Structures are given as C-alpha cells and as structure tokens.
Amino acid sequence: MSGAGRFPRELVDIAGGRLGLFTGAEARSLGLRSSTLARAKRAGECARVFPGVYRVGTAAQTFRQRLLAACLWGGGDAVASHRSAAVLYGLDGFEAAGIELTVPGKPRRPGLVSRVHPGRVRDEDRRVEQGVPVTSVARTLLDLAGELEVPVLAEALDSAWRRRLVRLDFVEHRLEKLAVKGRRGVCVLRRALSDCRTRGRPLGSPLEVRTWYLIRAAGLPLPMCGMGFEPLDGQPGEIDLAYPEHSLAIECDGFAYHALTRDQFEATERRAAQLAALGWRVMRVTHRMLAQEPQNVAERIRVALAISRVCWHPMPEN
C-alpha cells in the first residue's frame, strides 16, 4: 500500500482490508505514536477523513470510502442508511451526495455528516455491502418510505425487485415486524408493495414506473407490463406497457435505458416496425415528455384507448 512506510505491518493489513482506512485507536494500540502519525500526515502518507479516522496514501477518496469512514467514526453499531444505503445498493433515483447514518444515540458532532438517525439496527436488518456496514435492502426501503411519496419510493422498490436484491414477501415480512405504531412510511410502503403485486412483475426502468403511476393517477385502465410478443423475424420481444385489447403498445424510451448507439437505435426502430406490422399502435413516452407535459401524455393515452375497435383489431395474447 502506497505511503505505508511509517506504519506497523498490522495496521497496514487492517487498512488494506478496509478501503485503506484505520482508526487512531487502532494505531495507538499497535504502538504508533501521535507524533509519528502527525509526521505521516504532513508527508502526505495519510490523511484524516473523520475525527479519529484516517486513510493511507493521498489518492482521492471515494463516496464508499468516506461512508465507511463515517461508520467507523460513528462507532461499532453505526450503519449507512436511508439515501446512503440506497446509493450503495444502486437503487434507482439516488446518487452519491451527503452521508446518512443510523447510530444508537447521537454522535458528539452530528454536523460532520448530512444526517444522523438515532436508533439501533437489529442484526437481521444489517448487511455489509462493498465493505460498508449498511441497513438491509428491506430496512432501507422502509426507512426511505418515511420520507418519500409512493411513486418515488416505487422506483427504488421496483429496481431492487428487478435486480433480485430483495423478495417482496421478505419486504412485507420485515415491514410487519418493524411497523410499530406511529412509524412513518408504513402506509406508503404497503401501497407500493400492493402496486407491485397488482403488476405481478417488475417494470423495466424508472421511466416505466413513472409512466405506470401517471396512468393510474389519471384514472385510466392499468396496462399489462412486459407483455411478450412474437415478431415476424421470430425473435421474442416484450412491450413495456401494453393494452392488447386496444392493440396499443406504450414504449418508454429513457435515454439511459434505450438506444445510445446506431445498432441499438436500428434495433429499436426495427422492433417498432415489427409491432406495427402485427397491428399494434406504438406510442412513445420519453423522460422529457413525462417531466414537462405529463397531462398531455395521459390525454394521448386516453384518446388512444377511446379509438373504436372497428379500426384496430386486438392481437391475440401469447
């Protein structure tokens, strides 16, 4: 490990297995004097990340390293939670920003992190993700449910379900165990779970989740999700949101999830042409449409559903 020449071998090993981090207490227990640590800091061989927590070397710190350092500073029972946990798991709708911890009691200087949530996390609700102690996915979702509206929480829940990070029945089980009287977010998470059960399968992207909730909020019939179809070239495909009785296919074209290269663009257009050849009307919904003109998107779907079946013959379900 670069810059570790002044440090005992045991301390280097500790840091090597912990994203380059060690604590002042560990250094002292291994005989490293405060004056030696101060010289190492001046020489750029280590740097303080949090009070009493240091990283070896001068490489730029990552969000994950800073998050682990915060947990070490918070004490042995501290865990990353809420939005920080969602970032570690890669749940949709969250980006690395401030640090949130759940700790028993309150740290002496809570202003060093974005938010500190007092509380003790039980062993069944704790995990280690990428080397960082963190609340489980199920516990993370319940914590977030106390701060988010249903559609926003649904994006996180759906992404965890889609990526098989969690099972719905396990989330429901932990919800009932943790749903003490007055706990915020219980009803929100129950509603999001009920919506997942209604769909019967995870949606393919955050844009599909938002479109599904727009349709529901507009009072329109709920579409089938991920309906399979057999195009003319014999390659099976799926329609994002489908109304087979109206031969209406709604394709959610999120920039991060769809065509970025010429080959992907051609594949997307070929798929749309196949659907048209099979008698489907294809309506596209983009992130910008949903953000800037949601009422217009809902009205277009309403009008499309109202068109007489005389003009559009429903395709048989696969």
End position of a domain, from candidates 154, 181, 199: 199
User: Are 151 and 212 contained in the same domain?
Assistant: no
The answer to the question of residue 3 being in a domain is: no
User: Are 226 and 297 contained in the same domain?
Assistant: yes
Give the per-residue pLDDT at 183.
78
Phi, psi of 223 (to 5 degrees): -85, 165
User: Are 295 and 235 contained in the same domain?
Assistant: yes
Give the per-residue pLDDT at 140.
96
Give the per-residue pLDDT at 5.
62
What's the number of domains the chain is made of? Answer: 3
Q: Name every residue whose Cβ is closer than 8 Å to that of residue 300 and which is 6 or more positions away in sequence.
A: 283
Q: Is the pLDDT of residue 202 over 90?
A: yes
User: Are 83 and 193 contained in the same domain?
Assistant: yes
* Sheet of 100-103, strands arranged across: 115-118, 100-103, 79-80, 132-135, 126-129
Q: How would residue 201 be classed by pLDDT, with cut points 50, 70 and 90?
A: very high
The answer to the question of residue 193 being in a domain is: yes
Give the per-residue pLDDT at 272.
80
Q: d(Cα 26, Cα 191) in Å, to the nearest integer?
A: 46
Q: d(Cα 175, Cα 246) in Å, to the nearest integer?
A: 38
User: Are 187 and 276 contained in the same domain?
Assistant: no
> What is this structure's pTM?
0.84
End position of a domain, from candidates 18, 36, 60: 60
User: Are 79 and 187 contained in the same domain?
Assistant: yes
The answer to the question of residue 315 being in a domain is: no
Compute the chain's Rg from CA coordinates. 25
The answer to the question of residue 25 being in a domain is: yes
User: Are 226 and 183 contained in the same domain?
Assistant: no
Mean pLDDT (the chain) is: 87
Give the per-residue pLDDT at 45.
87
User: Are 227 and 122 contained in the same domain?
Assistant: no
The answer to the question of residue 2 being in a domain is: no
The answer to the question of residue 240 being in a domain is: yes
The answer to the question of residue 104 being in a domain is: yes
User: Are 255 and 279 contained in the same domain?
Assistant: yes
The answer to the question of residue 97 being in a domain is: yes
Specify the CATH number for the domain of residue 224.
Answer: 3.40.960.10
Query: Mean pLDDT across the stretch 171-195?
Result: 87
User: Are 192 and 210 contained in the same domain?
Assistant: no
User: Are 106 and 232 contained in the same domain?
Assistant: no
Q: Is the pLDDT of residue 210 over 90?
A: yes
User: Are 56 and 36 contained in the same domain?
Assistant: yes
State which residues form the domain around 30: 9-60
End position of a domain, from candidates 150, 172, 199: 199
